C-alpha cells in the first residue's frame, strides 16, 4: 500500500487506523510564512466528527488536533507540517464476529485478498475515520486558498429519494443534513430517520462549488483539474460517481446546446462545462456533483462469507451513521481544496518571467 | 505543464501536438522479456484513427507507429520503450481566424490564460489527436494484461438520445458506432447523421468492462483502483463524468439494496459495486460508465471572443467528428489498461514472501 | 520545502524539528505480514542518540519511539506505518543571540534566505536531530532486508587525521568512535578529545558495506544504485563527499588496472567497482566511503553576520558533539538500508513471469 | 527499469539505445514563452559527440537533433518538449563475441542479471551514448538558467596521473582534453596517447562550477541541492565519486578550519562548503569535483565469463575513447543545469506571497 500520498507540490500523506493509537497527516510543501490558525483546523474537524447531531452516529470522538511540526511562532516554517489526532479509549470491544466475517459493502474482503491479513477493528485503515486526517490537511489548504480569494463550499443536493430544488450556498451549515435547499432539509431528515428505523441506510448526491478559482489551473494532459478532482473525490470510500457541469446530461445534448458562449471580457455566458475546459480552469465557478452510496453497515441480516469463504449471515450491530452525506461534506471540501492548492503552486512555473 | 506523465511503475509520458511533427509516448517500467507485437499496437491505433467510417471525420491520418527504443529481437528489454507517430503533411492551412478567436467548448481560451500563448493549429496539445499516444501505450499494457488473463472492453451505451438496451461485449467491433447493443446501432447512426446534417454534434455514454481482474488491485488511500481510473478517464478532454457499478443510482438506494452479498467461495452475488470495494478490486468485473460530451466543433455560429476579449461570432469550418463516441472507445480501453497494468505491478510488493 | 519524502515503493516521509514537540516518520509501502520488532527499532535509535559515551554530546535525549499506525498484532498491515518520537522538555533556553546571528557552517543563513524566516531553536528542521526519524525508518528497512539475507554495516575509517589500517566489521560496535580498526580506536578518541579541549571539532571518513546484496538492484538510468545511495547519503547535512569502490583513486588508474575480472560462476575477482556496474548491483559487496565534515559548532570565536547582515562575532556555547562520526554511523546504515529495500521492491517488476 | 525520469518540476525522461533507431528525451515542465534556440542545443550536442578530436573515438555520429513537440514559432509552448536524435546506419556488425561474453567493467553482466536478457549491441541502454539525450535536455535547462543569470562550467582537473594546477574557466573549450589548466593540456594529451598506445585507457577528475546560483535553492531534507547533484552525477556510468567544496579533505580538518566565515552583506569569506550549507545554496559558487574512471573498454586481454558463466578471455576491439574525460564535461554541465533549473522552479513556492 504505497498510495498514502497525494499531490505534487502540496503533498499530503495520511496515516492511521480507526482503532489504532492515532490518525495523522504530514503536509510537505506548505509555503513558509503562512499565518497559521489552529482553531480553524479544529473547527473543520468538528464539522466532520461523529456525534454532532441526530443525523450522525452517537459515537463521541474528541478529534483534538495537535501540531507536531512545521509551525513556529504561529507561522508555517516551510518545513514538513505534521498534525496528529490521538484516538480516544479503545474499549476492549468484542470484534470476534467481524474478525472472522466479511461485512457486505465494506473493504474487509478486499483488504484480506490484498494483504492476506487485515485490521478487523472497525475497518482499520479502510474506515471513514481516516478522512479526519484529510480534513486537517484540507483546512491548511483552505488557509492558503483564502490568500488567493478562493472559497470551496459543498452541500447535499439530495438525500435518498428526496432532492433539493435550489442551491443556496449559505444553507448547508444551517441544517443538520447540510442541504443546499434549506426548505427540503426537514424532508431529508425524515428520509434518514425512516431508514434508521428500518435498520437501514441511505445515500445521496453532494454538490461542490469552488468560487474565484483563477483561470489557468490544471496540468495537461494527465493532471488536468477535473482529472485530479476526480481522483481526489473517488478516493473517498463511499463515492461511486462524479460529474462536472452538465455531466451525464451532456451526453444527450447537442454541441450547440452544451457549449458555453464567451462574453466580452472573457467570461462564459453559462457554466455547462462546470468551470473547466480542456482540463484547465476557465475562471468560472468549478462545479461538480458526486454520488454517495448508502452506508453499507446495516442491521438487516445479509448473506456473506467467513475467512474460510463459507456462507454465513451477518447483522451489523453498533452505532453507525444511517447516512454519511452530512459528514462527507467537509471531506469533499477538504479534498477539493487540496487539489486547488496544489495546482495554484504548480501554476507558478507555467511561464517564463 | 508538468502533467504529461501517468502511473507509478508503468509510467506513461506522452508528447506531441496535433499539427506538430509527431506524437509519441515513452513507457518506463515495461518488464523485460515481454513478447512484443507491433502489429497489435498498430491495430489498436487503427481503431482510433480518423476516417475509419462514415461516423468519423473524413480526415485521413496514417498513424503509423514506429518503435524507437526498448525492444530488441521482438522482446522488451526492460528499458524505456519509446514509440512515435509522425504526423502527415501539415498543409499550410489558414488558421488565421482560429488563431485570433477562442472556439467555444475548446481549450483555446484556457491554454491562453495559462501559458499566455497557444499553438492554435488544430488545438495543438489539447487536440484529441494526443490520445493516439495513449492508445499506443495502452496496447503495450494490454499485452501485459493478457499474460494475466485480464481483458478490457469498452463500447457505446447511448449516443445522443438513443440508448442501447443490452450489453453484448462482442457487438462494439461489429458496428460503426461501437454500440454494445448491435440492434440499436442503426438508430444511433441516424442520431449522428441527423446532428451532422444540422451542422451540430452529439455525445453519448460509454461503458467499460474489465474481466478477470484479480482481487487486491488498488492502493489505498489515494491511489485506489476507482480513483486512478477516474483520473485516467477524466483526463480525456471530452469526458464530463464517471460512475462505477450502480453509480449515481446508488445515491437513491438503501444500504440493504445497494450492498452486494457474498457467495460461498468469495464471489459476489451481484456487482452493484462495479468490481471495487474500498478502492480495491473484488475479483468481479470492473464496470464503469462515462459521460462523453458532444464535440464542441459545430458549424452553427456561436458567440465568442477574440484575443482582445472582444465579442465576435465563430462558425467552425472543416471536417470534424459529429460524434466522438466511436473513436473514444479504444482510448477508454487504453487508459483502463494502463491503470490495471500499473496496479498489477504495484501489487507485487503487497506482502512479504 | 517539498523534499521530505524519499523512495519510490518504500517511501519515507520525515517530519519534526529539534525543539518542536516531536520528530517522526511515515513509511508508505511496507509490505504486509512483516514480523515487527519494536525493540529493534529502539535499539537502533539508541545507537544514534546523544549521551551514549564520552564521544558525544552530554545532552540526554530519551528518543523513545511510539508506533502510531501500520502495525497490528505485531505484524505490519500493509498500510502507512507511522512512528513518532516526542521531544523531551524544551527548557526555556535563551536563544536570543543565535536567533539574530547566523552560525558559521550551519544552515541558519540558507534557511533564512530560502524561507525569509527560520526556527532558530537549535537549528529547527536543519538539526541533525532530524536523522532520528531516518534511523527509525532504516530499522524497518533492515527488518525487510534481513528476510533477504542482506546486512549493512558502517563504521569509522578515519577520525580527523587518524586513519584506521584495517576493516573489521565486528569492531565498530565495540569501541566508542565506532572505528573499523579497533586497534586505532584509542588514538581516534584522543584526536577527538584534543579537539574538544581546544573548543574545536573534527571530521572523519566513514565506510559502509552491504553484504549479500543480490545482483540486479538499481534502476537505470537515473535511479541507479550508486546514484540513489549518493542522494541518500549527501542528504545528510555533514557529508561533503562519497566514493564507491576505488573511488577517486580510480581517476589515476588505467582501465586494465581498474576493471574487475570475472571468475567462473560470475563472481568478481576483485571489487574495485564497489559492487556496482552500470548502476546495478553486481552481487558483490556494496562498498562506499563518505567524507564527514567537522561539526561546525565550535566555541572558538568566528566572524559572522546578524539578520541585518552586519558583521559580528559568535562563540557557540553549549554541549555539542566534537565529532559527529560515531553518531552518523547508524544513520548511514539507515539510509543505505532504505535505498536497498526500495530497490528490492522495485526489482520485483523487472521481468515478465 | 522505471528510473528513466529525473526531476520534479523540470522533468526529464530519456529513452534510446546506442544501436537502436534513435535516442531522445521528453522534458515535461518547460515554462511557456521561453525563446528557443535549437542551434544552441545542437552546439551542446556537438561538444559531446564522438570524433571531435584526436582525444575521442574515431566513430562519427552526426547527432542531429530534431524537435518533435513543445515548440511553436520559436517559443516553448508549456507542453511536453520532445527531442530525438536518430542513430546513423547501424552496419550489420558482428557482435557475436560480445553477445555471449560479459565485458569487464561494463554493465553487460548486471543488465543480464537484472533483466535475464540484454541488448548486446554496443551496450544498448547502458552505453554512454545515452547521455546525448541528457545533453539536449541540459541545453534547454541552460537556456532557462541564462534568464536567471546562472552559468555552469565544467572541465578537467586531472587526466590520469597528470593534474592541473589552476582553474581557468575559459580554458576548457580551448584545448582538446578540456582542461581547466591550459598549460597542462599538452601533458594530459600525452597521458591519454600513452594509454592508447598500450591498448589501455585513463580516467580523471572533473570539476564543475555554477556561478550566480541564487541563495535558497535545494529542498530539505532529501532533495537538498548537493543530494540531487550527487544523484544526477552518479547516474553517469563512469563516475565513481563526488565531493563538494573541501570534500574529503574536510574530513581531516578541524571545524574552525573548515567553517566559512560570513562577511558584511552575507557573502562568505571563503567557499570551503562548495556553495551549499544544510543542502541549500549559499549564493556563492557551487563547486564540486567528480572521479571519472578509466574507460573499461581496453584491448588488453582480460579474464571474464560467458553467459554460461564459464571462464573465457576477452580483448575488446573497435574504436573506443581512451579517456572519457573530455566528452563527459558537457554531460556534467547538462546534469548540473537540469538540477539547478528544477530547483529554481521548485523554489517559486517557498514562501507565501
Distance in angstroms (rounded) separating the CA atoms of residues B258 and B252: 9
Largest CA distance in chain D: 67
Contact A82 C32 (CB under 8 A): no
The CA-based angle A173-A174-A178, given to 5 degrees, is: 55
For chain C, the distance separating the N- and C-terminal CA atoms, rounded to the nearest angstrom, is 40
Whole-number pLDDT of residue A212: 98
Instruction: State residue A100's pLDDT score.
Output: 87
Q: For residue B18, what pLDDT is reported?
A: 92
First to last CA, chain A: 40
* Helices D325-346 & D38-48 angle (0-180, nearest 10): 140
Secondary structure (3-state) at B333:
helix
Q: How many residues does chain B have?
A: 353
Chain D residue numbers with beta carbons less than 8 Å from the beta carbon of A144 are 352
Alpha-carbon dihedral sign for residues D267, D271, D272, D277: positive
Residues 6+ apart with CB under 8 A from D327: D48, D50, D52, D56, D128, D321
Coil, strand or helix at D209: strand
Strands (E), A160-310: 162-163, 204-211, 239-244, 276-277, 280-281, 286-292, 302-305
pLDDT confidence of residue C317: 80
- Considering only CB atoms, B349 lies closest to which of C220, C348, C352, namely C348
CB-based contact C33 B79, cutoff 8 Å: no
Distance between CA atoms of residues D250 and D258, nearest Å: 6
Q: What is the pLDDT of residue A93?
A: 66
What percent of chain B is predicted at pLDDT more than 70?
96
- Indicate the pLDDT class of residue B125, thresholds 50, 70 and 90: very high
- Which residues of B fall below an 8 Å CB-CB distance to C? 8-9, 29, 31-34, 76, 78-79, 144, 147, 220, 345-346, 348-353
Contact B69, B81 (CB under 8 A): yes
Question: Can you spell out the DSSP letters for C223-252?
Answer: B-HHHHHHHHHHTSTTEEEEEETTGGGGGG
Query: What CA–CA distance (Å, rounded) separates A151 from A143?
Result: 10
Cis (ω within 30 of 0) for the bond into B221? yes
Strands (DSSP E) found in chain B? 5-6, 11-16, 22-28, 65-69, 71-72, 75-76, 81-86, 151-159, 162-163, 204-211, 239-244, 276-277, 280-281, 286-292, 302-305, 311-314
Given a contact cutoff of 8 angstroms between Cβ atoms, the answer to whether B294 and B202 are in contact is yes
Q: Measured on CA atoms in the order A66, A68, A74, A80, is the torsion positive or negative?
A: negative
- Rounded to whole angstroms, the Cα distance separating A328 from C231 reads 41
8 A C-beta contact, residue B218 and residue B230: no
Name which of C295, C157, C167 is nearest C236 in CA terms.
Answer: C295
What was the pLDDT predicted at B292? 98
Q: What is residue B14's DSSP assignment?
A: E
> For C351, which of B31, B346, B351 is closest by C-beta distance?
B31
Which residues sit opposite C290 in a β-bridge? C206, C242
pLDDT along chain D (353 residues), means of 10: 91 96 97 97 94 72 91 95 88 71 94 91 90 98 98 98 98 97 98 96 98 98 98 97 98 97 96 98 98 95 94 86 96 98 97 88
Chain A: give the shortest CA distance to residue D319, in Å: 43
Sequence-distant (6+) residues with CB within 8 A of A9 are A29, A342, A345, A346, C2, D9, D346, D349
- Kind and range of the H or E element at B215? none
Q: Do C79 and A118 touch (CB under 8 A)?
A: no
Given a cut of 70, is residue B92 above it in pLDDT? no
Task: Give tens-digit pLDDT for C68-122.
Answer: 999 999 999 999 999 999 998 665 566 777 788 999 999 999 999 999 988 888 8
Specify the DSSP class assigned to residue B294: P
Q: Is D104 helix (H, G, I), strand (E, B) or coil?
A: coil
pLDDT for the residue D98: 77
| Closest alpha carbon to D286 in D179, D214, D181 | D214
Question: Would you call D248 and C161 a contact, using CB atoms and an 8 Å cutoff?
Answer: no
Chain C nearest-CA residue for D266: C309
Instruction: Please report all neighbours of C, defined by 3+ CB atom pairs within 8 A.
Output: A, B, D
Handedness of CA B17, B20, B25, B26 (dihedral sign): negative
Which residues have CB under 8 Å from B172's CB, separation 6+? B153, B154, B155, B156, B178, B179, B180, B329
Strands C81-86 vs A302-305: parallel, antiparallel or unpaired: unpaired
Render A21-84 in DSSP notation, one character per residue. SEEEEEEE-PPBT-B--HHHHHHHHHHHSTTSSTTS-S------EEEEESEETTEE-SSPEEEE
Radius of gyration of chain C measured on its C-alpha atoms: 21
B245 and B259 in contact (C-beta within 8 Å)? no
- Give the span between the Cα atoms of B332 and B152, in whole angstroms: 9
Tell me if D78 and A350 make a contact (CB, 8 A cut-off). Answer: yes
Q: Which residues of chain D are within 8 Å of residue B3 when distances are taken between CB atoms?
A: 28
Q: Is the Cβ pair B345, C345 closer than 8 Å?
A: no
Count Cβ atoms within 10 A of the Cβ of residue C317 and give its class: 0-12 exposed, 13-18 middle, 19 or more buried: exposed
Cβ contacts of D124 on chain B, cutoff 8 Å: 72, 77, 79
CB pair distance less than 8 Å for D80 and B29: no
Beta-carbon contacts of residue A165 (< 8 Å; ≥ 6 apart): A181, A183, A184
Residues of chain A whose pLDDT is less than 70? 1, 57-61, 89-94
- In the three-class reduction of DSSP (H, G, I as helix; E, B as strand; rest coil), residue D140 is classed as helix
Residues of A in contact with C82 (CB under 8 A): 15-16, 22, 24
Query: HSE on the CB side for B218, CA within 13 Å?
Result: 35
pLDDT averaged over 10-residue windows placed end to end, chain C, 353 residues? 91 96 97 97 94 71 91 95 88 71 94 91 90 98 98 98 98 97 98 96 98 98 98 98 98 97 96 98 98 95 94 86 96 98 97 88
**DSSP at C118:** -
Sequence-distant (≥ 6) Cβ neighbours of residue B8 within 8 angstroms? A2, B223, B342, B346, C8
Q: How far is B253 from chain A (nearest CA, A)?
A: 6
Residues 6 or more apart in contact with residue B91 via CB below 8 angstroms: none
Give percent of chain D above pLDDT 90.
87
| Chain B closest-CA separation from residue A287 CA (Å) | 11
Residue of A34, A143, A352, A353 to mutate when probing chain D, most D C-beta within 10 A: A352
Q: Establish how many alpha carbons lie within 13 A of residue D142's alpha carbon, considering only the half-sphere containing its beta carbon.
A: 25
Query: Strands (DSSP E) along A170-237, which ranges?
Result: 204-211
Do D85 and D65 contact (CB within 8 A), yes or no? yes
- Contacts with A117 (C-beta within 8 Å, 6 or more apart), sequence order: B351, C32, C33, C75, C77, C78
Substitution target in D4, D98, D237, D345 with the highest count of B β-carbons within 10 Å is D4
**Would the CB atoms of B5 and D16 count as touching at under 8 Å?**
no
Q: How far apart are CA B19 and CA B24, in angstroms?
A: 13
How many angstroms separate the CA of residue C84 from the nearest CA in chain A?
A: 9
- Is a pLDDT exceeding 80 seen at residue B294? yes
Nearest C-alpha neighbor of B30 from the set A75, A3, D4, A65: D4
Residue among D80, C300, A306 at smallest CA distance from B115: D80
Query: In angstroms, rounded to a whole number, what is the distance separating the alpha carbons of residues B249 and B247?
Result: 5
Q: Cβ distance A3 to B221 under 8 Å? A: yes
Residue B257 confidence class, pLDDT cut points 50, 70, 90: very high
CB C164 within 8 Å of CB C186: no
Query: What is the reported pLDDT for C61?
Result: 63
Number of CB atoms found within 10 A of residue C34's CB: 23
Compute the distance between CA of residue A297 and CA of residue A317 in angstroms, rounded to an integer.
8
pLDDT digits (tens, 9 = 90+) for B132-165: 999 999 999 999 999 999 999 999 999 999 999 9
ipTM of this predicted complex?
0.97
Residue C342 Cα, gap to closest chain B Cα (Å) = 10
Q: What SS3 state is found at D351?
A: strand
3-state SS class at A191: helix
pLDDT at residue number C53 = 79
Question: Quick check: helix, strand or coil at residue C223?
Answer: strand
| Phi and psi torsions of C227, nearest 5° | -65, -45
Chains that touch D (3 or more CB pairs under 8 A): A, B, C
Asked if the Cβ–Cβ distance from A227 to B205 is below 8 Å, we say: no
Beta carbons of D352 and A34 less than 8 Å apart: yes
Å from C260 to nearest chain B CA? Answer: 25
> Which domains, and CATH codes, for chain D?
5-347 (3.60.150.10)
Closest chain B residue to A102, measured at CA: B262
pLDDT value for C200: 96
Go through chain D and tell me how many residues it has.
353
Amino acid at each position: 500500500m504505497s498510495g498514502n500520498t497525494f499531490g505534487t507540490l502540496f503533498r499530503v500523506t495520511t496515516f492511521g487506523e480507526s482503532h489504532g493509537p492515532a490518525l495523522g497527516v504530514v503536509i510537505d510543501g506548505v509555503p513558509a510564512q503562512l499565518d497559521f490558525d489552529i482553531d480553524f483546523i479544529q473547527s473543520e474537524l468538528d464539522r466532520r466528527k461523529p456525534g454532532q447531531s441526530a443525523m450522525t452516529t452517537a459515537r463521541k470522538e474528541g478529534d483534538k488536533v495537535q501540531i507536531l511540526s512545521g509551525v513556529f511562532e504561529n507561522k508555517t516554517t516551510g518545513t514538513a507540517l505534521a498534525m496528529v489526532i490521538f484516538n480516544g479509549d479503545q474499549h476492549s470491544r468484542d470484534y470476534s464476529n467481524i474478525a472472522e466475517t466479511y461485512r457486505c459493502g465494506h473493504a474487509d474482503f478486499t483488504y484480506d485478498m490484498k494483504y492476506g491479513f487485515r485490521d478487523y477493528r472497525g475497518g482499520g485503515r479502510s474506515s471513514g475515520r481516516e478522512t479526519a486526517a484529510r480534513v486537517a490537511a484540507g483546512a491548511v489548504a483552505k488557509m492558503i486558498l483564502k490568500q488567493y480569494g478562493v472559497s470551496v463550499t459543498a452541500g447535499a443536493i439530495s438525500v435518498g429519494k428526496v432532492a433539493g430544488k435550489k442551491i443556496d450556498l449559505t444553507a448547508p451549515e444551517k441544517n443538520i443534513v447540510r442541504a443546499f435547499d434549506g426548505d427540503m432539509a426537514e424532508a431529508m431528515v425524515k428520509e434518514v430517520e425512516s431508514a434508521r428505523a428500518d435498520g437501514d441506510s441511505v445515500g445521496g448526491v453532494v454538490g461542490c462549488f469552488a468560487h474565484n478559482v483563477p483561470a489557468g489551473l490544471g496540468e495537461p494532459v494527465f493532471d488536468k483539474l477535473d482529472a485530479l478532482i476526480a481522483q481526489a473525490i473517488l478516493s473517498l470510500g463511499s463515492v461511486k460517481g462524479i460529474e462536472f457541469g452538465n455531466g451525464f446530461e451532456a451526453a444527450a445534448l447537442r454541441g450547440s446546446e452544451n457549449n458555453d458562449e464567451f462574453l466580452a471580457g472573457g467570461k462564459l455566458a453559462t457554466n455547462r462545462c462546470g468551470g473547466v475546459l480542456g482540463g484547465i480552469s476557465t475562471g468560472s465557478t468549478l462545479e461538480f456533483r458526486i454520488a454517495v452510496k448508502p452506508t453499507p453497515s446495516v442491521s438487516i441480516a445479509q448473506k456473506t462469507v467467513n475467512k474460510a469463504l463459507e456462507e454465513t449471515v451477518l447483522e451489523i450491530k453498533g452505532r453507525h451513521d444511517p447516512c454519511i452525506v452530512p459528514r462527507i461534506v467537509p471531506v469533499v471540501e477538504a479534498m477539493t481544496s487540496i487539489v486547488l492548492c496544489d495546482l495554484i503552486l504548480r501554476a507558478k512555473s507555467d511561464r517564463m518571467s
